[in-house]
Amino acid sequence: MKFSKLSRLFLVSSIGLLVATLFTACEIQTIDYVFVADSAGSGAGSAGQISTFAADSESGALRYGQPSVPSGGVNPVALAVTSDYQNLYVANQGNNSVVHFAIAGNGVLTQKDLVTTSTKPVSLAVNSAGTYLYVVSGTASATLTEYSLSSGTIGAVTSQAALSVPGYAGDTLIPTGITVLANNATVSGNAIYVTAYDQSAYNPGGSVTSTANPGWVFGFTVGSGGALTAVSGSPWKAGVKPTAIASDPTDRFVYVTDYASNQLIGYTIQSGSILNFLTNGPFRTGNEPTAIVIDPRGKYIYVTNSLDSTVSAWSIDLSTGTPAGTANVTGSPSNTTDTQPVSLVVDPALGRFIYTANHLGNSVSGFRLDPDNGTLTITQSTPYITGDQPTAVVAVPHGNTSVESVTP
């Protein structure tokens, strides 16, 4: 069989294109697995799910990884992982459950066990040793519950604390977030901080029955056997409606977003885990901030603004904790996401990519983080389609990848 010159040219070009495509595909390397909680409706028959994405090491672009799995309940709202990245916990509000999944090296999730909470779970955190799981729950009252962990398995309740505003014990307190200090050596005790707001004092569209300050941060230390003890001076005022909380990797600072006042509130952590306001705060965010994350180097702060569909970015003055100017290549304080970002994460493997879960966009937006100045640029093909109404996002390193962590 004979080929014309044109046919031979077409054949060679086609083979070259195929080889190039295969070569490019082989060059794609997964650096992280990104897990997204999809609420998938809130009815009794509408189970939630966890979507899995693989993040490319060069571009940060996401592609679907393992198939989605049921969240183990209805309406998942929060995710947490252990520091060894081998266990994932999901809070399902629709059936008051916290479900434990084992994370395989290839990103496969396997449901292991679960506990049922007495009220709706709101937020989760795991201590750095992987020995305790902390759950804040409640829609008319706020409770912090500590569960023991053994190789990831959820055990018995070891301690519990009801949250209430001093002098206003009858008020309705709504919990919103939790953080556990990452480096327990620098403070006295393993400190935990929980945000909540007083709905009796702040209730847009409804009646107000209390004169209490609306927003609060509660602090606890963990003693022998996991006993929770309130920190001296706790709770501390936290604006009007605190929505999220984060601590820096060195346990020197805590930051809280105020949804109602469009502000970021900063605190220094003093001896005994006592919080003091940063003297030059609070700091302006975008509209309706909902989530906050600090990069693993402790140098930059990122906040999702749900109404604006943006991410605000700051660098941190390492001597004072002050958000010292905006980290953005264009000089703008924000970076555009898909609609209504409500959660975000910095990839743990390289600390070079940020992903936001966009509740109304049914998507994840990706950004490349410049470690030298904190600026963000969008990743290739962002946003990435998820299931219905994602509510939370976490990430774990792929396989034996090292984890980025630089102490300032």
In a domain, 344, yes or no: yes
pLDDT at residue 43 above 60?
Answer: no
**Bigger pLDDT: 14 vs 232:** 232
Q: Does 17 map to a domain? A: no
What whole-number percentage of the chain has pLDDT above 90? Answer: 77
Say if CB 243 and CB 176 are below 8 A apart. Answer: yes
Q: What is the mean pLDDT of residues 208-235?
A: 95
Structural domain containing residue 164: 33-397
Tokens 């901030």 correspond to: 289
Q: How many domains does the chain have?
A: 1
* pLDDT score for 140: 86
CA distance 91 to 72: 9
CA 339 to CA 320: how far, in whole Å? 34
- pLDDT, tens only, 121-168: 999 999 999 999 999 999 888 999 999 999 999 999 999 999 999 999
Q: What is the CATH number of the domain that holds 64?
A: 2.130.10.10
Question: Does position 252 have pLDDT exceeding 90, yes or no?
Answer: yes
Tens digit of each residue's pLDDT (9 = 90 or more) over 69-125? 999 999 999 999 999 999 999 999 999 999 999 999 999 999 999 999 999 999 999
Q: Is 380 among the domain residues? A: yes
CA 74 to CA 159: how far, in whole Å?
26
pLDDT for the residue numbered 66: 87
Residues 6 or more apart in contact with residue 323 via CB below 8 angstroms: 264, 266, 283, 301, 314, 315, 316, 317
| pLDDT, tens only, 175-188 | 999 999 976 544 54
Q: pLDDT per residue over 256-302, tens digit each?
A: 999 999 999 999 999 999 999 998 889 999 999 999 999 999 999 99
Is there a domain that residue 215 lies in? yes
Across 18-28, average pLDDT: 42
* Within a domain: 198: yes
Contact 191, 224 (CB under 8 A): no
Could you tell me the pLDDT band of residue 368, with boundaries at 50, 70 and 90? very high
Q: Is residue 6 part of a domain?
A: no
Question: Which residues in 228-269 belong to E strands, given as ranges?
Answer: 228-230, 236-237, 242-247, 253-258, 263-269
pLDDT > 50? residue 10: no
Tell whether the model's pLDDT for residue 7 goes beyond 80: no
Residue 402 lies in a domain: no
- Confidence at residue 392, expressed as pLDDT on a 0 to 100 scale: 98
Name the band, by pLDDT with cuts 50, 70 and 90, for residue 47: confident
- Model confidence at 334: pLDDT above 90: no
Tracing tokens 């402790």 back to the chain, one arrives at 298
CA distance 387 to 363: 7
Distance of CA 87 to the CA centre of its chain: 15
Mean pLDDT taken over the chain: 88
For residue 337, being part of any structural domain is answered with yes
51-69: per-residue pLDDT in tens? 999 999 999 999 998 899 9
Cβ-based neighbours of 333, under 8 Å, separated by 6 or more = 286, 312, 313, 326
Tell me which amino acid residue 342 is.
V
Burial class (CB in 10 A: 0-12, 13-18, 19+), 18: exposed
Cβ-in-10-Å burial (0-12, 13-18, 19+) of 41 comes to middle
User: With 50 as the cut, is the pLDDT of residue 21 above it?
Assistant: no
Decide if pLDDT at 407 tops 80.
no
Q: Residue 184's pLDDT is what?
A: 54
